[in-house]
Structure 1
Amino acid sequence: MTGSAPLTESVMVRVAPLTAYTAVSDVTRMGRWSPESRGAWVLGGRGPARVGTRFVGINRASWLPWTTLCTVVSAEPGVRFSFKVGLLGVALSRWTYRFTEVPGGCEVTEEWLDLRSGVSGRLITAAAPAVTGVVRRRERNRATMRTTLAALRTALEDGV
């Protein structure tokens, strides 16, 4: 539940920060790297994501797919990309990606912050395992973040 420290994982990638940002901020591509995300449908237009862009996140952890409504809250090319995730009007989480230039490329840091709170947050938390098949969300996210970042690194360094 909210109040816990954000989870963060990082990876070094041999591409420029703007290249990594461009890949991550195209939310329709996330399903290529993430073991849980299956991609997204951007609502209301095309083009680069900007603050206020909304998209439907498509996910699957086990047997049952589910969707969430996401809103971009930060879009600084080559620096930071962040979006909030909600379900049925309840804030669930915020995902943030930071891109830091380092010699030979950039460091990509992925961060997940649990925003569930109050009665509605507790209800969503209680129902989530039946919908997603995930009992330990924090531990699951740490593992999927590591997998996502490794796959992102491979794809970017291979020019995919």
Structure 2
Amino acid sequence: MARTFTVSDSIIIEAGPSRVYEHVSSPDLMGRWSPENLGATLIGEQRPAHVGMVFNGHNKRGSIRWTTRCTVTAADEGELFRFRVHAIGLKQPRLRAPIATWEYRLEPAGEGVKVTETWTDDRRSWPDFVANTFDRIATRGHTFAHFQGGNIRTTLRNLKAALEAPAVKP
């Protein structure tokens, strides 16, 4: 079976593009919305998202935990945030290889913003049979494309709920 290399989904969030971008471009906040990500640790200078920014993503699936090394490849405020996952390991991302690219594209939509989250499988050198077998073991029966589609839907719904929630007054 041929692999699906890219999966995306979109949602409209009733918030300004700067506010939405501020959240999706902060890897340390992603754990608040993602069903698999626990957040991130920025490597180097602590400043807003920028091309070349490096971070370690902390992840879990069931009882398994792992860390990825990621580098930001696009950081256009209010429009686009993209990063490439290029190393993985249990506690430290020691195995270097093209793994995946994640993208958050923001477009005006009425009074809000259309957010499109995209996952791209960067394991192009893996034969389909090997990748599909690995994926089904790692996700308990699914390809990564199918599995990530569900994660994307959950992440976008959680992000929308958080950004549209009424502000709590002290």
* TM score, norm. by length of structure 2: 0.83
Is residue 58 of structure 1 aligned with residue 58 of structure 2? yes
Q: Quote the offset at 1:127 in angstroms.
A: 5.3
Equivalent residue number for residue 150 of structure 2: 143
Equivalent residue number for residue 15 of structure 1: 15
Equivalent residue number for residue 94 of structure 1: 101
Give the whole-Å Cα distance in 1 for the aligned partners of 2:127 and 2:146: 22
Does structure 1 retain, via aligned residues, the 8 Å contact 2:5–2:145?
Answer: no
Q: Structure 1 residues 81, 121: CA separation in 2 closer, same or farther (over 3 Å shift)?
A: farther
Q: Structure 1 residues 3, 53: CA separation in 2 closer, same or farther (over 3 Å shift)?
A: farther
Q: Quote the offset at 1:136 in angstroms.
A: 2.4
Is residue 42 of structure 1 aligned with residue 50 of structure 2? no
Deviations 1:51-74 (A, max 9, x none): 000000111011110111000000
In structure 2, what residue type is equivalent to 1:99? L
Q: Which has the larger radius of gyration?
A: 2
Q: Quote the offset at 1:133 in angstroms.
A: 5.6
1:62-73, aligned counterparts within 5 Å?
62-73=62-73
Q: Which runs of 5+ in 1 are unaligned?
A: none
In structure 2, what residue type is equivalent to 1:145? I
SS of aligned partner of 2:8: strand
Q: Quote the offset at 1:76 in angstroms.
A: 0.1
In structure 2, what residue type is equivalent to 1:64? I
Higher helix proportion = 1
Is residue 104 of structure 1 aligned with residue 105 of structure 2? no
Q: Structure 1 residues 131, 142: CA separation in 2 closer, same or farther (over 3 Å shift)?
A: closer
SS of aligned partner of 2:71: strand
Give the whole-Å Cα distance in 2 for the aligned partners of 1:150 and 1:122: 32
Does structure 2 retain, via aligned residues, the 8 Å contact 1:92–1:116?
Answer: yes
Identity value in percent: 33
Q: Structure 1 residues 137, 131: CA separation in 2 closer, same or farther (over 3 Å shift)?
A: closer
In structure 2, what residue type is equivalent to 1:44? G
SS of aligned partner of 1:111: strand
Q: Structure 1 residues 128, 66: CA separation in 2 closer, same or farther (over 3 Å shift)?
A: farther
Equivalent residue number for residue 32 of structure 1: 32
Aligned residues: 160
